[in-house]
Amino acid sequence: MSLPEAISAFVEDGMTVALEGFTHLIPYAAGHEIIRQGRHDLSLVRMTPDILYDQMIGAGCARKLTFSWGGNPGVGSLHRFRDAVERGWPAPLEIEEHAHAGMAAAYAAGAARMPFGLCRGYLGTDLMSVNPNIRLVTCPFTDEAIPAVPAINPDVAIIHAQKADRHGNVLIAGIVGVQKEAVMASRHAIVTVEEIVDDLGDTMNRLVLPHWILSAICLSRAVRGRPMRMATMPATMPPISPGIPLRRTGTASSPGSAKRSHPKPRRRWRRWHERRDLHARRDDGGRGRAPSLER
């Protein structure tokens, strides 16, 4: 099944949708297809919403976000996420914040068809004061009060993986998060893969999802000529983070070129052998010999 067909068949307006996976396993192609098809009023679930969810929020797809950490590692904040929460643009966004371990417990409970998951990690935090869905239950064996969270059972879970075989089994390799639990907790599961092979093979830290728990497997390819429907920033609302101010040179008749008002950043890296030679020169007082390992 193609990815546009899978999104059209299984993702509907108003559904609870979870797109899970870290780093190289973030399902960008599926998220962009949801934007292209103009889905809206979705309740989005993700442990670490990042650029993909920021784009979906900015496109007006989301009504609610359930998450445990939100941001763009190494770059900064999620500006459309902030716009939706702070300004209600392009639409107001309801948020439900959890701890990482709490969401993992909620996914595991959903996969096991249990009503809730347990997580001691909420004790001592202020999350219980801002999230009414985190509640204390009494252990029937020890009478201990333990925080509980409702199970997460998405209507659709979407993940990305490296490959699938011709029988419909899927291989995930690398950093594995809660993809297995999300798929098993959902009513429908869509997987995008990079290739379809005859044999999945043996790799380190692999996870295989059997074909009988999946609804659709889609070969992920670049989609050209189909623009995403993104919301337009209103002229009356200033952006969260304005661009770097420009300084123009020249006269009014000869405006010249626009230049940035800050110096050009220096290169932050060197090749390994350049760093090695540099440290060698510093070590022997500039004579260029390799440093001694005997200290």
In this predicted model, what pLDDT tens digit does every residue of 121-178 receive, in sequence order? Answer: 999 999 999 999 999 999 999 999 999 999 999 999 999 999 999 999 999 988 888 9
Question: Residue 274's pLDDT is what?
Answer: 57
CATH number assigned to the domain covering 3-219 = 3.40.1080.10
Q: How far is CA 295 from the centre of its chain?
A: 47
Question: Residue 172's pLDDT is what?
Answer: 92
192, HSE (Cβ side, Cα atoms, 13 Å): 25
How many other CB atoms are found less than 10 A from the CB of residue 36? 17
This prediction has a pTM of 0.75
Q: Report d(CA 284, CA 278) in Å as an integer.
A: 10
Tokens encoding 272: 């390994």
The label of the residue with tokens 């559904």 reads 15
Q: Report d(CA 14, CA 34) in Å as an integer.
A: 13
Residue-wise pLDDT tens for the chain (295 aa)?
899 999 999 999 999 999 999 888 999 999 999 999 999 999 999 999 999 999 999 999 999 999 998 988 777 789 999 999 999 999 999 999 999 999 999 999 999 999 999 999 999 999 999 999 999 999 999 999 999 999 999 999 999 999 999 999 999 988 888 999 999 999 999 999 999 999 998 877 778 899 999 999 999 865 445 555 555 555 555 454 443 333 333 333 344 444 444 444 444 444 544 555 555 555 555 454 444 434 3
Tokens encoding 63: 């009504």
Q: Report d(CA 194, CA 213) in Å as an integer.
A: 19
Tokens encoding 140: 């029937």
Q: In the chain, what are the domain boundaries?
A: 3-219, 264-295
Q: How far is CA 273 from the centre of its chain?
A: 35
Q: What's the one-letter identity of residue 259?
A: K
DSSP string, 6-36: HHHHH--TT-EEEE---GGG--HHHHHHHHH
Which parts of the chain are beta strand (E)? Answer: 16-19, 42-45, 62-67, 94-97, 116-118, 135-138, 145-150, 156-165, 170-173, 188-197, 206-209, 216-219, 246-248, 258-260
80 close to 58: Cβ distance less than 8 angstroms: yes
